[in-house]
Amino acid sequence: MDLIFEKSVTGVRGYMNPQLDVDIFSEFPQEYQRQKPSFLPELSELDVVRHFMQLSQRNFGVDTTFYPLGSCTMKYNPKFTERIAQMPSFTEMHPLLPQLKKADQLVQGSLEVLFELEKWLCEITGMDAYTMQPLAGAHGEMTGVMMMAAYHKAKGNKKKYIIVPDSSHGTNPATAAIVGYELISISSDKDGVMDLKELKKHLNSQIAGMMLTCPDTHGVFNVHIDEIAHLVHSMDGLMYYDGANLNAILGRCRPGDLGFDIVHVNIHKTFSTPHGGGGPGAGPVGVKKDLIPFLPVSRVIKKEDGSYRLNYDYPDSIGYISSFYGNFGILLRAYAYILLLGQEGLKQVSNHAVLNANYMKKRLEKYFKVAFDRICMHECVFSASQQAERGVHAIDIAKYLIDQGVHPPTVYFPLTVKESIMIEPTETESKSTMDRFIDLMIKADELSQTNPEMFHDLPKNMPISRPDEVKAAMDIDTNYFMKQS
């Protein structure tokens, strides 16, 4: 399939503007005006429509295929929540209305959604208050660690380090560095959790906090979490909960009860909008009561007369994190999702997510090496090291699955597992769907023994075959077609 730049024909137009009969450029300084043509592709409306329709038909997505990305919770979500988010009473609301005294009565419903969703997330995670503003999980991380820094500054603490496990998401160390902390990485033990003995060696009074996923990135629950939280708190450090894996414990345990002081929730993973493709996302951050003064502004409060308004009167706040009130459309989907399922429904989410992952683990452990041989939570991690000895690596198995019409699981992450294959089936997939995926994985193992060479040319049924991935990463040129123009 040609790129849209390759389909361009000079002079072809999809629409015609009326002749410009006013001078709108003379008032603008010359340096702010385009000096060269934009070199945009030139096509008819029909060619543009067909191009993007063909692209959409070649996409993988949760509405078209099984999407078992580990650590990403790419589950199907009910279309009911999409309908709620598309209601004109929400979509046609101007974002400045809540700040206008004579118009704030027009947005009481929207403010109530934000207020109630905050209360529900507090109950689900064991926090005392939330900010709805962060626009993704990583944005939530930065918000949480900024509040951590503000907390220590207010107390006069001189803190220098943040602790993360060696299996952490890459955003954890990046966030710590952006906020100004140095990193201490603790290795995992034989059970796949943070090594408690090594942690104790690195504890000191300059520890600002720890960033931890629980269950962790290996898909196992850390049975030492109470002791870890106690150790960090004894250094006047804070416990930060990376909410990427919250789907595994919904309704079963709460991060706040496990000793965490700050929580970010990947709304777009856990509560009804699969992330991917750059968004959309939302990453609300919850805190315990000692951190409430540092929450971003504005916050929605409920007045004595039962009405809602925005409050900016928080002198110790870290300030604005995003414009307006967060990604409201995604928060609205989460509101509808939680309202639909209720407490018992959320328990069933984690029940089935954990059951499906353990079913997948049990069926495949005869063919792929299990990274950590214990009951897993929402995801299971395998190693393709046995297949690699035959010349078939994790990436080759991923390409094979693509050719079979299934999105591959996460490969080569976490980095702590050699030739890792991380699978998260989620709670929404049926046994028949998982069985088909398992059969493909077993077939891949068989082919690695009988015909390993065939993997090296895969995929064969896709628009693009096997690219030179090293060259693509090291010699990327995003302006190639601009240069040709």
Structure tokens at 453: 């060479």
Residue 273 has pLDDT above 80, yes or no: no
- Per the listing, tokens 């520890």 go with 207
What CATH fold (topology level) applies to the domain 350-473?
Answer: Aspartate Aminotransferase, domain 1 (3.90.1150)
pLDDT level of residue 29 (50, 70, 90 thresholds): confident
pLDDT at 363 over 70: yes
CA 248, CA 379: separation in Å to the nearest integer?
9
- How far apart, in whole angstroms, are the C-alpha atoms of residue 255 and residue 270? 15
Nearest in space to 388 (alpha carbons), one of 376, 402, 398:
398
- C-alpha distance from residue 349 to each of 216, 266, 355 (Å): 18, 15, 10
Residue 199: pLDDT over 60: yes
Q: For 183-197, how does the pLDDT look when each residue is reduced to its tens digit (9 = 90+)?
A: 999 999 999 999 999
Under CATH, which architecture does the 80-340 domain have? 3-Layer(aba) Sandwich (3.40)
Residue 367, H or E segment: none
This prediction has a pTM of: 0.89
List 309's β-bridge partners, or say none: 301
> By the 8 A CB rule, do 433 and 394 touch?
no
Mean local confidence (pLDDT), 428-443: 97
Say what the pLDDT of residue 17 is: 82
Which of 241-245, 291-295, 429-433, 469-473 has the weakest average pLDDT?
469-473
pLDDT of residue 442: 98
Confidence class for position 203, pLDDT limits 50, 70, 90: very high
Q: Where are the domains of the chain?
A: 80-340, 350-473
